[in-house]
Amino acid sequence: MKGDRVTGISHRQDQDEFRGATGSLFRIALAPTIWAFHFLFCYAGAAVWCAKFGTPGGIAFLRLSIAGLTVLALLAIAWQGWRSYRQWAPHDHDDHVEGSHRFLGHAALLLSVISFVGVVYVAMPALFIGSCL
């Protein structure tokens, strides 16, 4: 029970709402977005490489690039997961109800995990496939 008090909704706060709101919503979508870009770069990279340089050039460079890209994406997702974990993990002064801030941290953490797995899946073809055929 918060008791009788005057509204804390300030005009300024509301003006900044778009930035704040989209900020927190996009933060939960950050890890899947990294997955999406990793996916896009792998697909577009392979398409362009195979169309323009093709089989004669071999795809060693392509596979190495995908490996590098994958490491970068996994690091970024792991960092995002860590930040989300910090946002979610309970602090001492918390009552047990999960507030919207912590909830967004929890959702972002779970999405980081799924995106991590997704990136690993998508990178696997480059591990096994050695040509453009």
Partner 1 sequence: MIDRTPQGIYPPTEAMLAEPVPQDVRDAQEDRLRRVWKTKTGIRYLMTVNNSEVGKWYSLTCFAFMLSAGVLALLMRVQLAFPGMQFLDADRFNQFFTMHGSAMMFLFAVPLFEAMAILILPAFLGARDMPFPRLSAFGYWSFLIGGVFVLGSVLFDAAPKSGWFMYPPLATEDPGVGSDIWLLGLSFIEIASIAAAVELIVGVLKCRPPGMRINTMPLYAWYVLVVGGMILFAFPPLIAGDLLFELERALDWPFFDPARGGDPIFWQHLFWIFGHPEVYIVFLPSVAIAAMIVPTMAQRPIVGYSWIVLSAVGTGFLSFGLWVHHMFTTGLPMISLAFFSAASEAVVIPTGIQLFVFLVTLMVGRVQKSLPLLWIAGGLAIFTAGGLTGIMLAIAPFDWQVHDTYFIVAHLHYTLFGGMVLPVMAGVYYFFPFFTRRQLSVRLGRWAFWLIFGGFNLTFLPMHLTGLLGMPRRVFTYQPDLGWNMLNLVSSVGAFIIAAGFLVFAWDLLRPGKPRLQDPNPWKAGTLEWSATLSDEDWGVRSIPFITSRYPLWDQPRLVERMAEGRYYLPDAPEGHRETLVTSVIDGQPVQVQRVTGDAWITLAAAVFIGGCFILPTFHLYVAGAISGLLGVACIIYWLWTSTARIPDKEMKDAGLGLRLPTYAAGPQSVGWWAMWITMLGDATAFASIVFGFFFYWTAGTDFPPAGADHADGMLVLLSTLLLTVSWAMTMAARRLNRRGSVTGARAALVAAPLAALAGGGLLVLSVLDLSPTSHVYPAVICALVIWTGAHVLVGVLMQGYCLAGLVFGKIDPDHDADLWNVSLFWHFHVLTVLVTAAVIGLAPRLL
Under 8 Å CB-to-CB from 132, ≥6 apart: which residues?
A: 49, 50, 54, 55, 59
Range 35-94, binding partner 1 (CB under 8 A): 35-36, 39, 42-43, 46-48, 50-52, 59, 62
- Residue 67 · residue 123 · CB < 8 Å: yes
Tell me the two tokens of residue 72.
């970068």
Member of 64, 71, 78, 114 binding partner 1 (CB under 8 A): 114
Q: Which window, 34-42, 68-76, 77-85, contacts partner 1 (CB under 8 A)?
A: 34-42
Total residues in contact with partner 1, by rule CB under 8 A: 60
- Residue 31 · residue 74 · CB < 8 Å: no
Member of 25, 64, 71, 75 binding partner 1 (CB under 8 A): 25
Residue 43 in 3-state DSSP?
A: helix
CB of 68 to partner 1, least distance (A): 16
Residue 29 in 3-state DSSP?
A: coil
Only one residue has tokens 């941290």, namely 105
Instruction: Give residues in contact with partner 1 (CB under 8 A).
Output: 1-11, 14-15, 17-21, 24-25, 28-29, 32-33, 35-36, 39, 42-43, 46-48, 50-52, 59, 62, 98-100, 103-104, 106-107, 110-111, 114-115, 117-118, 121-122, 124-126, 128-129, 131-133
